[in-house]
């Protein structure tokens, strides 16, 4: 029982790290970046290449994946995304679907279509007993990293100068600009961090969710669900949404395997029916 | 005068050319290979095309005085595209046969077309029992899931497993595998505690595996389509099922040759039943594996690759038997009852069901020359699909 | 779409409804493709079907301004409805007729559209995208789970389409399928054309332009949106039904996300808000797929993605938008000289 809860939390945490960047860009720039999963895939595949081809340690892969995706994110932001901020949502959706297609084909070309498997270092394999629950060491590791990240993010946003500038830019970009805040720079940096987190999530997820070129599409739905439930205005919203989703998904499949697949969609639609106003207040304003 | 003779010569030459023309250009017989080359199933499509091409490369492209031409189409794993390709191949390219079909729905989608046009369709991969019953023009050279699941059910029961749980992907072949396993395992006095079905598109198996673990069976039977197998096996190991004294068994799809090395040493000792292993000891197989690797660097042939090979073989032999007649009904009749040695071992096309009869091996994952292989240690001879009446 | 500074509103309105020469040429070309490409009839029928789906999206997107990502749900529901009609009605004459199947497909999909339209009314573009996507996912999940009815992941098998009106049976060369798809597409298109040029259609444009103002001048905004969403769903359903009837099976990927995405791409490719955009886009999309697919079958997705990105960045209004811009430039040049 505890094991299930634990697995659910680990899965939810992973979803959170994968999706949090999207929440930030969406809340911040009001940009629907469906291609967010492509950044996660970049991080995941970097891990595969570093570990399986170069034989580097898994621990090195995590920061590398973050940096790689962040750089990729900032380059794309400056080169392409920037031009779409004032376009319609439809254009943004189409643009990011186009990016997904290109990313999928590129990965297919470079790495092949077979799912890639990452083998963890021995120190992360195996299982231990905690509070009577039998838990996987790696899942514990995922929870620890994601937990630290969440606290860190929350701290940066709530307590630091950068955080208050960011919040100001989100709340009203024009006024923020008028006050001398470098909104463009903050956007670029935030986009980079968001993409980097996705990359880190991809790297962390690689050993659990196998990597194949259809990754961005497969997980796009999960990201969207996290956002639709958690909203985009806070970090804690998506955080709790991810945990809720992870636990509901895992527990649902455990206790009622026959209809497990429905549960997350049902939650999403129920939330959207009963609390739509609480979720997208920010984008509705425009 | 001179002009006239040149003209005459030219006319004569032309006439002569006309005469020899039919002798020079052989008649071409086309075979349409519909494979999935993009999307999640792409890896299987490449194996199949590689296997079929290799057969043609090693056996020449002349059969019964006719030149064989292979036309490869990508169906992207979408059934209506498969059907459209089949129809176009038959109507426009006038192919003598179509082959391929990586998934059951793709094969089923062409059933009306091949029945209507009387074109043989050679199934190289898809493994649901029922396919061959849907059209008298289907011939299968791959395998069926029940055929693969029954031997391992017997083996498990014989080796002391009293209870079992099965976990499969929720689609035709998975359900076939699960039912066949349950049927034979319970016939042998065992008990299947629960039949779990995971959504086809979901790579997160942990809740299902945890449930299986908590049920404490003696054995856990697994089947998922080959591309997902790697992820599943990682999670099986990660969840510590083997340490909990649960014997993990399955069909060979979960220890697919193409992916086995990527899964890692944790699967050492895993026992599966399947019709093909790249480590099969016969001379033909060793040649097949060596040539396959030479032609496709970085790939190791798996059961899908060998399906491609045997599909071409079945067609070649049938065309020889009909002495080059490409009438669909005659070709299917020629394939019925055909027996040959494949890299997998001896195989026969059942004359009644047009389904494959073959040896099914019980194998164990072992390390050989630094690579992981399925090493065969037991065999059930000439297994028929138990689901056909 | 943009009125070319009409002198009189009445003249402009009449001008919109008049059939232009290039429209007639378009349909004539569509019909004559039967003789020009006799070996590609299946592909062409598929283009009509896809085009019709894109046209139905155009109704909501191009004319009512509703951004949706789940039209595939209606397409799939229609496909299964028509398939089940053909399966269970086989043999009993009036029930097995494809035309009746098509109507049922449209009706069922329209009913689903009506029910879900209330979800689409509220919230922003983003909520709409999410809700429509969510509905499509749930429909897909239901289709794969309800094995007894839909055949699950293996798809609906044994759909034998009866002859159309008891006379024309579906042949292997796709001749019947071609004419059947063409005529159904044309009739649906004609209906859509009438619809968007009616006062109802014009009110939709007003709502798209500014919902607040439309409401202020007394327009029943929500009723109109529900109506157009339902109609679009019904037409999507009929295009799904067409696909099932011409290919004689239905499978879960008829509901899958890529259907919705493809159809949306096609529409944007052709140009939304012109009604013809969907059809033109479908032709261009398939031709491109065929062309690129022959060069690099494995990586054509990359080029589609690239085209899409370039289209969004540099081209407004898709192919038709480009043609209109070209025409205007030519006209202006003509005036200048």
ipTM of the complex model: 0.76
Instruction: Count CA atoms within 13 Å of residue A142 on its CB side.
Output: 30
Cβ C137–A105 below 8 Å, yes or no?
no
Range of the domain at B338: 28-143+281-354
Q: Average pLDDT of B299-311?
A: 91
Backbone angles phi, psi at B366, to 5 degrees: -135, 165
For B208, which of A127, A212, A257 is closest by C-beta distance? A257
Backbone angles phi, psi at B263, to 5 degrees: -70, -35
Higher pLDDT pick, B183 / B4: B183
A76, A98 Cβ separation under 8 angstroms: no
For residue B3, give every residue at least 6 positions away whose Cβ sits within 8 Å of its Cβ, in sequence order, or none: none
Are B371 and B237 in a shared domain? yes
pLDDT at B98 over 90: yes
For residue A75, give every residue at least 6 positions away whose Cβ sits within 8 Å of its Cβ, in sequence order, or none: none
Look at residue A208 in the predicted model and tell me its pLDDT.
Answer: 77
Are B285 and B268 in a shared domain? no
**What is the overall mean pLDDT for chain A?**
79
Coil, helix or strand at residue B222: strand
Nearest CA of chain B to the CA of A130: how many Å? 15
B36: left (phi over 0), alpha (psi -120 to 50) or beta: beta
Cβ A261–C141 below 8 Å, yes or no?
yes
For residue C231, give every residue at least 6 positions away whose Cβ sits within 8 Å of its Cβ, in sequence order, or none: C59, C110, C113, C195
Q: Name the CATH code of domain C33-336 (choices 1.10.150, 1.10.3470, 3.30.450, 3.40.630).
A: 1.10.3470
Q: Could you give all domains of chain A from N- to C-terminal order, each with its CATH number?
A: 2-285 (1.10.3470)
pLDDT at C93 over 70: no
Interface partners of chain C (CB pairs < 8 Å, 3 or more) are: A, B
Q: Is C298 exposed, middle or buried (0-12, 13-18, 19+ CB in 10 A)?
A: middle
A106 has a chain B CB within 8 A of its CB: no
B300 has a chain A CB within 8 A of its CB: no
Cβ C125–A89 below 8 Å, yes or no?
yes
**Chain B residues near residue A252 by CB distance under 8 angstroms:** 207
C-alpha distance from residue C241 to each of A196, C86, C166, C252 (Å): 45, 10, 18, 14
Cβ B238–A136 below 8 Å, yes or no?
yes
**Is B9 within the bounds of a domain?**
no
Count each helix (H run) and each strand (E run) in chain C, helices first.
16, 0
* C-alpha torsion angle, residues A91, A96, A101, A103 (rounded to 10): 150
Are B228 and B152 in a shared domain? yes
For C299, which of A108, A225, A228 is closest by C-beta distance? A108
* CB-based burial, A156-184: b 16+ in 10 Å, e otherwise: ebeeeeeeebbebbbeebeebeeeebebe
**Is B95 within the bounds of a domain?**
yes
Are B37 and B119 in a shared domain? yes
Q: Which residue has the tokens 């009616």?
A: C198
Are B130 and B162 in a shared domain? no
pLDDT at C12 over 80: no
**Chain C residues near residue B108 by CB distance under 8 angstroms:** 154-155, 157, 249
In this prediction, residue C230 has a pLDDT band, given cuts at 50, 70 and 90, of: very high
Q: Average pLDDT of C279-300?
A: 78
**Is B219 within the bounds of a domain?**
yes
Number of cross-chain residue pairs from A and C with Cβ atoms under 8 Å apart: 130
Question: Which tens digit of pLDDT belongs to each residue from B213-245?
Answer: 888 899 999 988 766 777 788 788 778 787 778
Number of cross-chain residue pairs from A and B with Cβ atoms under 8 Å apart: 95
Measured CA to CA, the distance from residue C128 to residue C122 in angstroms comes to: 8
Measured CA to CA, the distance from residue B336 to residue B330 in angstroms comes to: 10
Share of residues in chain C with pLDDT > 70 (%): 89
Look at residue B5 in the predicted model and tell me its pLDDT.
Answer: 47
Measured CA to CA, the distance from residue A96 to residue C286 in angstroms comes to: 21
Give the dihedral sign, CA B179/B184/B185/B189: positive
Are B372 and B269 in a shared domain? yes
B343, B51 Cβ separation under 8 angstroms: no
Are B110 and B198 in a shared domain? no
Look at residue C296 in the predicted model and tell me its pLDDT.
Answer: 66
Question: Which tens digit of pLDDT belongs to each residue from B1-10?
Answer: 444 444 444 4
Coil, helix or strand at residue C10: helix
Look at residue C62 in the predicted model and tell me its pLDDT.
Answer: 84
In this prediction, residue C188 has a pLDDT band, given cuts at 50, 70 and 90, of: very high
In this prediction, residue A59 has a pLDDT band, given cuts at 50, 70 and 90, of: confident
Of B291-295, B334-338, C27-31, minimum mean pLDDT range: C27-31
A122, A59 Cβ separation under 8 angstroms: no
For residue B127, give every residue at least 6 positions away whose Cβ sits within 8 Å of its Cβ, in sequence order, or none: B104, B142, B143, B144, B145, B148, B173, B176
Q: Which residue has the tokens 């430039």?
A: C329
C-alpha A279 chain-centroid distance: 18
Cβ A209–B235 below 8 Å, yes or no?
no
Are B170 and B239 in a shared domain? yes
Look at residue B13 in the predicted model and tell me its pLDDT.
Answer: 42
Cβ B203–A7 below 8 Å, yes or no?
no
**Is B18 within the bounds of a domain?**
no
Residues in chain A: 286
Tell me which range, A173-177, B220-224, C321-325, is most confidently predicted by mean pLDDT: B220-224
Q: Average pLDDT of B167-192?
A: 87
CA-based nearest residue to B199, from C130, A262, C150? A262
Extract the runs of DSSP E, i.e. beta strands, from B174-218: 191-198
pLDDT at A37 over 80: yes
Q: How many domains does chain B have?
A: 2
- The H-or-E segment that residue B357 falls in is strand B356-368
Residue ranges of B 96-125 with Cβ closer than 8 A to chain A:
none
**Chain C residues near residue A261 by CB distance under 8 angstroms:** 141, 145
Of A184-193, C62-71, C139-148, minimum mean pLDDT range: C139-148
Q: Average pLDDT of A79-100?
A: 82
Nearest CA of chain A to the CA of C139: how many Å? 10
Nearest CA of chain C to the CA of B313: how many Å? 26
- The H-or-E segment that residue B123 falls in is strand B121-123
In this prediction, residue C239 has a pLDDT band, given cuts at 50, 70 and 90, of: very high
In this prediction, residue B289 has a pLDDT band, given cuts at 50, 70 and 90, of: very high
C-alpha distance from residue C285 to each of A146, A184, C262 (Å): 43, 37, 9
Look at residue C90 in the predicted model and tell me its pLDDT.
Answer: 64
**Chain A residues near residue B239 by CB distance under 8 angstroms:** 127, 136
Cβ C300–A90 below 8 Å, yes or no?
no
A183 is written with which tokens? 């909104």
- The H-or-E segment that residue B272 falls in is strand B271-274
In this prediction, residue A117 has a pLDDT band, given cuts at 50, 70 and 90, of: confident
Residues in chain C: 337
Residue ranges of B 229-268 with Cβ closer than 8 A to chain A:
230-231, 234-235, 238-240, 243, 258-259, 262-264, 266
Look at residue C336 in the predicted model and tell me its pLDDT.
Answer: 56
Tell me which range, A276-285, B242-251, C221-230, is most confidently predicted by mean pLDDT: C221-230
Look at residue A284 in the predicted model and tell me its pLDDT.
Answer: 37
Question: Which tens digit of pLDDT belongs to each residue from A194-231?
Answer: 889 889 988 888 877 777 787 887 787 788 778 777 77
CA-based nearest residue to B354, from B314, B298, B304, B296? B314
Coil, helix or strand at residue B293: helix
Q: Which residue has the tokens 């020009």?
A: C36
Best of A35, A269, A274, A275 to disrupt the C interface by mutation (most C CBs within 10 Å)?
Answer: A269
**Is B14 within the bounds of a domain?**
no
Question: Which tens digit of pLDDT belongs to each residue from B370-382?
Answer: 888 999 888 888 8
CA-based nearest residue to A255, from B163, B216, B207? B207
In this prediction, residue B389 has a pLDDT band, given cuts at 50, 70 and 90, of: low
**Chain A residues near residue B168 by CB distance under 8 angstroms:** none
**Is B388 within the bounds of a domain?**
no
Look at residue C77 in the predicted model and tell me its pLDDT.
Answer: 92
**Chain B residues near residue A114 by CB distance under 8 angstroms:** 43, 227, 258-259, 262
Look at residue C238 in the predicted model and tell me its pLDDT.
Answer: 93
Indicate which CATH number applies to the domain containing B209.
Answer: 3.40.50.2300
Cβ A94–C61 below 8 Å, yes or no?
no
* C-alpha torsion angle, residues C70, C71, C73, C78 (rounded to 10): 180
| Per-position DSSP letters for B158-175, written without gaps between them | HTT--EEEEEEESSHHHH
Look at residue C54 in the predicted model and tell me its pLDDT.
Answer: 92
Interface partners of chain A (CB pairs < 8 Å, 3 or more) are: B, C
Cβ B239–A127 below 8 Å, yes or no?
yes
Instruction: Count CA atoms within 13 Å of residue C198 on its CB side.
Output: 10
Instruction: Count CA atoms within 13 Å of residue C58 on its CB side.
Output: 33
Look at residue A233 in the predicted model and tell me its pLDDT.
Answer: 67
Q: Average pLDDT of C122-142?
A: 78
A231: left (phi over 0), alpha (psi -120 to 50) or beta: left
B69, B61 Cβ separation under 8 angstroms: yes
In this prediction, residue B16 has a pLDDT band, given cuts at 50, 70 and 90, of: very low
In this prediction, residue B14 has a pLDDT band, given cuts at 50, 70 and 90, of: very low
Are B369 and B259 in a shared domain? yes
For A11, which of B196, B198, B204 is closest by C-beta distance? B204
Share of residues in chain A with pLDDT > 70 (%): 89
pLDDT at C74 over 60: yes
Measured CA to CA, the distance from residue A184 to residue B38 in angstroms comes to: 39
Are B151 and B269 in a shared domain? yes
3-state secondary structure chain A: CHHHHHHHHHHHHHHHHHHHHHHHHHHHHCCCCCCHHHHHHHHHHHHHHHHHHCCCCHHHHHHHHHHHHHHHHHHHHHHCHHHHCCCCHHHHHHHHHHHHHHHHHHHHHHHCCCCECCCCCHHHCCEEEECCEEEEHHHHHHHHHHHHHHHHHHHHHHHCHHHHHHHHHHHCHHHHHHCCCCHHHHHHHHHHHHHHHHHHHHHHHCCCCCECCCHHHHHHHHHHHHHHHHCCCCCHHHHHHHHHHHHHHHHHHHHCHHHCCHHHHHHHHHHHHHCHHHHCHHHHHC
B354, B332 Cβ separation under 8 angstroms: yes
Measured CA to CA, the distance from residue B100 to residue B35 in angstroms comes to: 5
Instruction: Count CA atoms within 13 Å of residue C259 on its CB side.
Output: 33
Are B223 and B372 in a shared domain? yes
Look at residue A276 in the predicted model and tell me its pLDDT.
Answer: 59
B88 is written with which tokens? 């176009």
Q: Is B243 exposed, middle or buried (0-12, 13-18, 19+ CB in 10 A)?
A: exposed
In this prediction, residue A12 has a pLDDT band, given cuts at 50, 70 and 90, of: confident
Residue ranges of A 18-37 with Cβ closer than 8 A to chain B:
none
Are B308 and B366 in a shared domain? no
Of B137-141, B285-289, C22-26, C121-125, minimum mean pLDDT range: C121-125
DSSP state letter for C19: P
**Chain A residues near residue B46 by CB distance under 8 angstroms:** 113
For residue B80, give every residue at least 6 positions away whose Cβ sits within 8 Å of its Cβ, in sequence order, or none: B109, C46, C243, C247, C249, C251, C253, C254
Helix residue ranges per DSSP H, B92-171: 104-117, 145-158
Share of residues in chain B with pLDDT > 90 (%): 24
A286 is written with which tokens? 């425009």
pTM value? Answer: 0.81
| Per-position DSSP letters for C280-333, written without gaps between them | HHHHHHHHHHHHHHHH-TTSHHHHHHHHHHHHHHH-SSHHHHHHHHHHHHHHHH
A240 is written with which tokens? 């709790």
pLDDT at B167 over 80: yes
Give the max Cα distance, chain B. Answer: 102
B231, A115 Cβ separation under 8 angstroms: yes
Q: Average pLDDT of A7-32?
A: 80
Pairing of β B28-35 and β B66-74: parallel
Cβ A127–B208 below 8 Å, yes or no?
no
């Amino acid at each position: 029982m505890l094991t299930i809860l634990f697995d659910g939390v680990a899965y939810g945490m992973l979803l959170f790290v994968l999706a949090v960047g999207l929440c930030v860009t969406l809340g911040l720039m009001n940009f629907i970046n469906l291609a967010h999963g492509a950044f996660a895939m970049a991080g995941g595949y970097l891990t595969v290449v570093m570990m399986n081809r170069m034989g580097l340690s898994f621990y090195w892969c995590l920061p590398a994946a973050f940096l790689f995706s962040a750089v990729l994110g900032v380059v794309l932001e400056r080169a392409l995304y920037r031009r779409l901020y004032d376009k319609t949502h439809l254009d943004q959706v189409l643009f990011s679907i186009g990016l997904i297609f290109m990313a999928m084909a590129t990965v297919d070309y470079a790495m092949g279509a077979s799912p890639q498997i990452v083998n963890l270092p021995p120190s992360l394999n195996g299982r231990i007993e905690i509070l009577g629950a039998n838990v996987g060491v790696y899942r514990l590791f995922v929870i620890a990293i994601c937990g630290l990240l969440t606290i860190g993010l929350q701290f940066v946003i709530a307590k630091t100068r950068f955080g208050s500038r960011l919040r100001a830019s989100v709340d009203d970009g024009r006024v923020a600009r008028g006050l001398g805040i470098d909104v463009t720079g903050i956007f670029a940096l935030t986009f980079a961090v968001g993409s980097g987190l996705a990359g880190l999530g991809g790297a962390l997820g690689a050993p659990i969710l196998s990597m194949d070129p259809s990754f961005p599409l497969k997980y796009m739905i999960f990201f969207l669900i996290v956002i639709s439930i958690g909203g985009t205005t806070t970090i804690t919203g998506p955080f709790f949404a991810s945990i809720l989703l992870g636990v509901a998904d895992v527990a649902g499949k455990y206790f009622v395997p026959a209809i497990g697949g429905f549960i997350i969609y049902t939650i999403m639609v129920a939330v959207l029916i009963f609390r739509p106003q609480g979720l997208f207040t920010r984008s509705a304003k425009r | 005068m001179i002009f006239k003779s040149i003209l005459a010569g030219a006319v004569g030459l032309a006439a002569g050319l006309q005469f020899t023309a039919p002798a020079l250009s052989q008649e071409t017989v086309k075979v349409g290979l519909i494979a999935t080359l993009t999307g999640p199933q792409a890896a299987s499509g490449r194996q199949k095309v590689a296997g079929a091409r290799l057969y043609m490369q090693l056996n020449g492209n002349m059969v019964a005085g006719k030149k064989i031409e292979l036309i490869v189409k990508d169906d992207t794993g979408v059934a209506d595209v498969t059907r459209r390709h089949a129809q176009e191949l038959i109507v426009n390219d006038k192919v003598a046969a179509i082959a391929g079909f990586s998934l059951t729905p793709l094969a089923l989608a062409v059933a009306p077309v091949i029945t209507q046009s009387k074109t043989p369709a050679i199934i190289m991969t898809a493994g649901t029992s029922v396919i061959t019953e849907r059209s008298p023009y289907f011939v299968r050279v791959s395998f069926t899931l029940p055929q693969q699941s029954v031997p391992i059910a017997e083996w498990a029961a014989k080796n002391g497993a009293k209870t079992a749980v099965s976990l499969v992907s929720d689609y035709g072949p998975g359900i076939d595998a699960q039912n066949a396993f349950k049927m034979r395992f319970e016939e042998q006095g065992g008990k299947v505690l629960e039949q779990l079905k995971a959504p086809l598109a979901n790579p997160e198996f942990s809740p299902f595996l945890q449930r299986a673990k908590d049920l404490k069976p003696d054995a856990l039977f697994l089947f998922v389509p080959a591309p997902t197998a790697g992820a599943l096996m990682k999670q099986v190991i990660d969840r510590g099922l083997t340490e909990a004294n649960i014997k993990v068994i399955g069909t060979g799809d979960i220890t697919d040759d193409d992916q086995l090395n990527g899964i890692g040493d944790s699967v050492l000792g895993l026992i599966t039943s399947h019709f093909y292993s790249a480590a099969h000891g016969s001379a033909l197989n060793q040649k097949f594996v060596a040539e396959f690797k030479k032609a496709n660097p970085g790939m190791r042939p798996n059961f899908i690759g060998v399906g491609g090979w045997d599909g071409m073989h079945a067609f070649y032999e049938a065309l020889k038997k009909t002495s080059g007649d490409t009438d669909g009904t005659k070709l299917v009749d020629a394939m019925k009852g055909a027996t040959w040695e494949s890299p997998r071992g001896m195989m026969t096309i059942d004359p009644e069901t047009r389904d494959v009869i073959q040896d099914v091996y019980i194998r164990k994952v072992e390390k050989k020359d630094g690579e992981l292989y399925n090493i065969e240690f037991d065999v059930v001879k000439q297994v028929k699909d138990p689901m056909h009446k | 779409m943009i009125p070319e500074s009409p002198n009189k509103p009445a003249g402009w309105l009449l001008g919109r409804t008049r059939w232009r020469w290039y429209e007639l040429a378009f349909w004539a070309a569509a019909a004559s493709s039967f003789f020009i490409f006799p070996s590609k009839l299946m592909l062409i029928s598929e283009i009509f079907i896809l085009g019709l789906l894109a046209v139905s999206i155009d109704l909501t997107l191009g004319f009512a301004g509703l951004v949706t990502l789940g039209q595939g749900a209606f397409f799939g529901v229609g496909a299964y409805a028509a398939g089940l009609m053909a399966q269970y009605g086989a043999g009993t004459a009036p029930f097995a007729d494809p035309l009746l199947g098509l109507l049922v497909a449209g009706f069922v999909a329209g009913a689903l559209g009506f029910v879900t339209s209330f979800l689409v009314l509220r919230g922003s573009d983003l909520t709409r995208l999410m809700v429509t996507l969510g509905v499509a996912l749930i429909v897909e999940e239901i289709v794969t789970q309800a094995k007894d009815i839909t055949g699950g992941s293996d798809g609906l098998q044994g759909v034998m389409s009866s002859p159309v009106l008891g006379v024309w049976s579906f042949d292997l060369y796709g001749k019947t399928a071609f004419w059947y798809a063409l005529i159904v597409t044309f009739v649906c298109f004609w209906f859509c054309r009438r619809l968007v040029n009616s006062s109802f259609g014009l009110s939709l444009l007003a709502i798209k332009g500014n919902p607040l103002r439309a409401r202020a001048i007394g327009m029943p905004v929500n009723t109109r949106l529900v109506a157009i969403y339902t109609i679009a769903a019904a037409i999507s359903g009929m295009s799904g039904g067409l696909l099932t009837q011409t290919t004689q099976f239905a499978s879960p990927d008829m509901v899958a996300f890529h259907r919705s995405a493809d159809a949306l791409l096609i529409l944007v490719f052709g140009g939304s808000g012109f009604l013809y955009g969907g059809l033109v886009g479908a032709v261009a999309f398939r031709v491109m797929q065929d062309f690129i697919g022959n060069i690099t079958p494995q990586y054509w997705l990359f080029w589609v993605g690239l085209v899409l990105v370039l289209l969004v960045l540099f081209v407004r209004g898709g192919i038709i938008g480009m043609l209109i811009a070209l025409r205007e430039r030519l006209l202006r040049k003509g005036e200048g000289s």
